[in-house]
Amino acid sequence: MREKTIYEKIAEKYNTTPEEVRREMQIAIDAGFDSPDPAVQEEWKKMTLKGDRPTPEEVINYAVKKLKEINENMKKKIIAVISGAVILIIAAGSIYGKSESGHKESEPDVVGTFSVNRDENITVVANRGHIGDKEAFARELLQMYKDDSFHSTKFSTDRGYATSLDMNIYLWKEDIEDGKSVMTAEYRPVEYGKDHDVVNNPDKFQLYIDGKEVEE
């Protein structure tokens, strides 16, 4: 009997299709691949890619290869180094753990996440038809991240809080499939490599909305 692929296993658990699982993984990878953080880009350069962008298969194979190269005592360190190369399967699963709610407005939710070391890239569904004040909404999302209050995703802080936060934001969940983001919000460190995080050192970060710096 053929062994089920990782996509099939996740799809079966969350009542969706393998194609949908792979598509959501690719969205998360693309978000991480577009990070402006030099440290993040250095991690991507370590991978051998057949195309312009990494595929889910390439990312998973790279992670597995790295884990095989180390002994048991080094696993915690390697997880920290290649976390950016690992698709968070649990996070991908959480996309399907929440039932469809149509267009009923509710709290924003994180439906996908991808991290490189402690740089977080997240996909947010606003669950509303319009965002009037983008800056206020971005700051609301940051507070929800600090409080870990998103419904579908809980962030691990074992290695500390995010050293940068990139958010692709969609009005409704189905807009993700169409690639129609309503805005992007990024909390970038003023200086890279200082190990500041968005929770404990908010004054060391600059907010960007749709790629433009927001004046404080």
Number of other CB atoms surrounding residue 66 within 10 Å = 16
Helix ranges, 83-122 (H): 89-94
Q: What is the pLDDT of residue 113?
A: 87
Is the residue at 46 inside a domain? Answer: yes
With respect to residue 156, please indicate whether it lies within any of the assigned structural domains.
yes
pLDDT at 70: 58
Domain that holds residue 181: 6-213
Would you say residue 184 lies in a domain? yes
Answer for the pair 33, 47: CB distance below 8 angstroms, yes or no.
no
CA-nearest of 22, 23, 24, 207 to 110 is 24
Q: Is 174 within 8 Å of 100 (Cβ atoms)? A: no
Most confident of 7-21, 90-104, 164-178: 164-178
Q: Sheet holding 212-213: strands in order across?
A: 109-116, 119-125, 164-170, 183-189, 205-209, 212-213
> Rg of the Cα trace of the chain?
17
Cβ distance 172 to 125 under 8 Å? yes
pLDDT (tens digit per residue) in 28-45:
788 778 877 777 788 888
pLDDT of residue 96: 40
Cα separations in angstroms, 149 against 3, 55, 104, 155? 37, 30, 19, 9
For residues 10 and 115, give the distance between their C-alpha atoms in angstroms, rounded to a whole number: 19
pLDDT (tens digit per residue) in 139-159:
999 999 999 999 888 887 777
* Locus of tokens 């039932």: 99
**Residue 107 resides in a domain:** yes
The verdict on residue 1 lying in a domain is: no
pLDDT at 207: 94
Strands 205-209 and 183-189: antiparallel
Where is pLDDT greater, at 101 or 104? 104
With respect to residue 143, please indicate whether it lies within any of the assigned structural domains: yes
Is residue 120 within 8 Å of 113, Cβ to Cβ? yes
Q: Is the pLDDT of residue 77 over 70?
A: no
Side chain identity at residue 1, one-letter code: M
Residue 39 lies in a domain: yes
Q: How far is CA 58 from CA 51, 62, 63, 72, in A?
A: 10, 6, 9, 23
Say if 74 falls within a structural domain. yes
* Number of CB atoms found within 10 A of residue 209's CB: 17
pLDDT in tens, 11-31: 787 677 888 888 888 887 887
- Select the more confidently predicted residue: 148 or 178: 148
Is pLDDT above 70 for 102? no
**Number of structural domains, the chain?**
1
Question: Each residue of 105-128: pLDDT tens digit?
Answer: 889 999 988 877 788 889 999 999
pLDDT recorded at residue 103: 58
Nearest C-alpha neighbor of 48 from the set 59, 37, 38, 39: 59
